[in-house]
Amino acid sequence: MAVGGGRSIKRKKPKRRVVKGRSPKRAPKRSAMAPKAEIPISAYSDLEDILAERLGKKPEFAGISRKALLLTDVLYTSTHQIRDFAYSTAVALGRQIYAESDKSVGAVLNAIEASGLGGVLYYPFDDMAIITAKPLEPHLNIGSMVHVYEAGILAGYMTAATGSNIICYETHCVHNGSAICQFVLRQERRQLRRYRYEIPESEVLIDRLVKVVMASSGGGRASGEYYLAHMLPIINKGTVENASAAMHVAGMEFGRRIAALNHTTLEMIKDAFGADRIIVRWKKDIPERIDVHYPQISSRSEVMLLSKRFITGVLLSRYGKDISISTTEQHGNNYILNISLKRK
């Protein structure tokens, strides 16, 4: 039953600060680490294995904005179905992280820190365990607990570690006004527990998606691997159609709320979709061509589709009467989305 080095999640007395996510012993300097093989674009079959192997180790922060994670988190609260699927996908990944890891609690805390949540602490109690975390930088309060995916990873890891069915749910969240995120882990006979997360009305959902994109603070950085893992429910389930439809509506609403489509508002979009850069050719005050470059780690068609639908939504709401839009995609090492606008 012990979870690595005798750290059982079944202890008689509460114990504080048992282990931090990144222990110095297991955190070699970047220069000492072997160069990583790139994840080939569209290598879906081995994706979970590769990610699980990497996520139990000290995270490398490849510059994906946490805004991009939060945007997906909000999508995962949109229906019971997608939320349960996000959770169960994360449970499976959590089990794989355990299989690939050094079997310590620190490994799963590393995975949670890769999401950009800092100061991850583990408190084992008699019949339950609590894990707390908080973002390293200012975060956005959207009035909802969102970390279903992270709860799933914790549940999967601890289930594999203890051999009994462990469920996990969030009781406090920084995106719901709390100073910390708090996750409760406990043993449960049933496979999936019904959460207390509320499912927002569609207007509330769109409002939250727009607020996340418009947030000036990115809330810190997440690892590229974690971002891709976080997208697995969308990549693997064909849920991308519904998700991209919601992003299209959110894009139209974003277009209505911004004063102008300019460098600042395009940077907001870039961060929210984890893109590397957006290059625009302007003709007077209307963009003639927009090129969105994606990092190699998230160069996947489903990831790109979400931003494509959002950006075309923005353009339609701002210039719909005056322009026609066409899009093409370049699939090299990195994906590039080309959006062309023609005046009618």
Contacts with Zn ion, residue ranges (CB under 5 A): 147, 173, 181
Smallest separation (angstroms) from Zn ion to the CB of 152: 13
CA distances from 272 to 16, 177, 209, 250, 287 (A): 36, 21, 10, 12, 20
- Whichever of 186 and 309 has its CB closer to Zn ion, that residue is 186
3-state DSSP assignment of residue 31: helix
Report how far residue 213's alpha carbon sits from residue 311's, in angstroms, rounded to the nearest whole number: 11
**How far is residue 301's CA from residue 236's CA, in Å, rounded to a whole number?**
12
How far, CA to CA in Å, does 204 sit from each of 36, 85, 181, 318? 41, 21, 22, 22
Q: Residue 81: which residues within 8 A CB-CB, separation 6 or more?
A: none
- Could you tell me which residues come within 8 angstroms of residue 343 by beta carbon, excluding any fewer than 6 positions away? 286, 322, 323
Least Å distance, CB 174 to Zn ion, is 5
Cβ distance to Zn ion smaller for residue 39 or 181? 181
| DSSP secondary structure letter of residue 20 | B
Question: Rg (Cα) of the chain, in Å, rounded?
Answer: 20
